[in-house]
Amino acid sequence: MKAFQVFRMRYSGNAVFSALSMEVLQEAEIPAYICVYNACFRPMREALECSPTDFYYTAAQLLGKREQIYVLKEAGEIAGSVAIYGNEIDDLVVAPAYQGRGLGRALLAWAVARMQAEGTCPITLSVVDWNVRALTLYRDFGFETFETLQIGRKESS
């Protein structure tokens, strides 16, 4: 694995409203979710030489997580998703066929608005320095870095 940085970020912006309609990931949708998730994270995992390249392989890996994963559907298929674990936004993905339409920003706004409505504070997320598009989106939206972690292969002795 190559060395990289993870930026831990905290939302410092204003109140957010979202009219986006999201649904909890259903068990029957897990195979499609795994395909979208892996397609979105595969380029980063390959570039950083993470193994395995695909993170999810089976529905069992999502046990206990499914209820915190929300999906956006268009034409009956998963266009994007975002997970909310406590006070952390995680795994925000937009299916490759739907990228470039502002859905990432819409998903982020939905997650922040939901968390604000529930009184969640602080709202945090993490992003890898390799993912410049996501890092730019988060900064432009009102997230600020509060911690930087150095990740990389430990040298063998």
- Can you give the residue ranges of every domain in the chain? 4-151
Reported as a single tens digit per residue, the pLDDT across 133-154 is 999 999 999 999 999 999 886 5
DSSP 29-69: GHHHHHHHHHHHHHHHHHHTT-SSSSS--SGGGGTTTGGGE
Q: What pLDDT was estimated at residue 11?
A: 98
Which residue type is seen at 149?
L
**Which residue do the tokens 């009219």 mark?**
19
Helix (H, G, I), strand (E, B), or coil: what is residue 142? coil
Reported as a single tens digit per residue, the pLDDT across 36-72 is 999 999 999 989 988 888 898 899 999 889 999 999 9
Higher pLDDT, 127 or 51: 127
Higher pLDDT, 72 or 1: 72
The CATH code that applies to domain 4-151 is: 3.40.630.30
Torsion of CA 42, 47, 48, 50, to 10 degrees: 40
Residues present in the chain in total: 157
